[in-house]
Structures are given as C-alpha cells and as structure tokens.
C-alpha cells in the first residue's frame, strides 16, 4: 500500500552516500514502520487554541490525538523493541510555532499579556478548517525546527479519512494541559514558562535525530495575526519558525 509510493528525499533527492555520518538505526526501523504507517487510518486534527508551553514556547494545541494515531503509537512501541520512551511533549497534540530569543525570559506580566492574546485569538483558530492527516513522515533532521531535514520517507495513510472525534480520555488530557495556562493559575504556571532552555539556540543547534511527524500543508489563516500581535505587544521577545517547517509531532524515535 504505502510502501510502493513512499517518497524519500535528501535535500530534494535521496542520496544514500550523503548519509554516511547518520546513525543507521532510523533506516532499519523504517522497514518496520512503513507498513504500520500505511495501515493507519487517515484522520482529522482540530485546532483548540494558542498555548504558551513550558519555557515560554508558543504552540497551537489540538483538541486531542485521533484514535488511529493512538493505535499507531501502540503498534510502534510493540514492534520497535527498545525504542526510546515517548517524550511528554508528544503526548498532547501540538504544532510548535515559535520560541523565546536566547537572552529572553518571560516575566509574569508578559505571561499575562500572552494569556490575553491567546484568549482573544484562539476563537478564530478554533473555527479554521480541521487538518487532514493523510500521511506521516519518518524524518532524520539536522535541527529541531525541522528546517534542515537530512532525509525523510513520507508514507500515505489508509483512506477514507476517519472524521471521528478523539476519545474523551484524549480530549480530557489536553484540557488538563491547557488548564495550567488558565488565568487563575498564571502565578504558579509562570514558574514553568520562565524555566531556562528551549530558546532559539536549542532549536537551531546541529543535532541528528529521528522522528515521525505530519507536515502541515497550509498554516491557519489566523496565525499571521497572532504573530503580529505578539511582536507588537512583546517586541523582540520571540523568534518564529518558518511556515514550511511547521508540523505535528507524532513521536520521536531517537
């Protein structure tokens, strides 16, 4: 199914000799993952709201992980013995859109400003068209923004698209994450958003790691306005990730 039409590329074309410096494990696991991915039902992700994650990272959060992706993760862990434990950050569905500049830390007042911006801009985000996830990519990347991908294989998912809502347990988990950023919790949550790390240098430093993602085919129409408001009300604080690199992280492999 997906195996025959999987798309591979390295800077536009696949070149095995260009990957001699890359750990070989991701290539061996691709043979295991491709049939699992191709047997996974295509699905929909619905945007919930803009959200400030730990260390001040800006994200788009989705309402919940669709059941077909939950099933894919279970099959991945069952078939890839010894694969790393899933990062907490991919247990709730999101797209990372920006991070603080290296020398910046959010004050409580700045966090309150972001809470206001997120509250006012999220309704427009939530009414945008849901994202059809009809393929997944196994990517080996050179920085954590995925602006430099060494190689990837993109595998189509099984059609038709399953439009079912995520399970209530998945939606409840997302709500528990979002509650941390509620107005009434900002004094406490500020400790998390002001932690060091995950600044620009973290996302740009050279690394060689592997992950499973879905690349966004288009960005939400409201995103430019959100960026403009953040830049206007918190000038010089944030660095934005390129539209072409925006993705939903499904699960890290290394």
Encode the chain (254 residues) as per-residue pLDDT tens digits.
Answer: 333 334 554 443 333 433 344 444 545 678 889 999 999 999 999 999 999 999 999 999 999 999 999 999 999 999 988 888 999 999 999 999 999 999 999 999 999 999 999 999 999 999 999 999 999 999 999 989 999 999 999 999 999 999 999 999 999 999 999 999 999 999 999 999 999 999 998 998 898 999 999 999 999 999 999 999 999 999 999 999 999 999 999 999 98
Q: Which domain holds residue 190?
A: 2-252
d(CA 222, CA 219): 8
pLDDT at 28: 66
Q: CA of 174: how far to CAs of 36, 48, 61, 83, in Å? A: 25, 9, 8, 24
Chain centroid, CA 149 distance in Å: 15
Overall domain count for the chain: 1
pLDDT at 29: 72
- Give the list of residues 6+ apart from residue 69 with CB closer than 8 angstroms, or none: 40, 43, 133, 250
pLDDT at 50: 99
pLDDT at 214: 98
């Amino acid at each position: 199914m997906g195996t025959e039409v999987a798309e591979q590329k390295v800077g536009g074309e696949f070149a095995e000799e260009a990957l001699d410096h890359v750990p070989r494990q991701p290539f061996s696991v691709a043979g295991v993952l491709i049939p699992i991915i191709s047997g996974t039902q295509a699905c929909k992700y619905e945007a919930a709201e803009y959200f400030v994650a730990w260390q001040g990272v800006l994200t788009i959060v989705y309402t919940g992980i669709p059941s077909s992706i939950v099933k894919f993760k279970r099959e991945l862990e069952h078939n890839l013995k010894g694969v790393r434990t899933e990062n907490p950050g991919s247990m709730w569905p999101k797209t990372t859109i920006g991070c603080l500049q290296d020398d910046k830390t959010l004050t409580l007042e700045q966090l309150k400003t972001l809470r206001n911006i997120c509250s006012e801009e999220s309704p427009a985000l939530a009414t945008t068209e849901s994202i059809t996830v009809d393929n997944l990519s196994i990517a080996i990347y050179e920085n954590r923004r995925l602006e430099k991908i060494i190689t990837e294989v993109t595998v189509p998912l099984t059609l038709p698209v399953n439009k079912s809502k995520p399970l209530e347990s998945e939606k409840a988990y997302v709500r528990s994450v979002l509650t941390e950023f509620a107005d009434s919790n900002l004094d406490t949550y500020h400790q998390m958003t002001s932690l060091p790390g995950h600044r620009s240098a973290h996302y740009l430093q050279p690394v060689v790691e592997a992950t499973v993602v879905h690349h966004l085919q288009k960005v939400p129409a409201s995103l430019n306005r959100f960026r403009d408001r953040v830049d206007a009300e918190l000038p010089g604080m944030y660095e934005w990730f390129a539209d072409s690199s925006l993705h939903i992280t499904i699960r890290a492999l290394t």
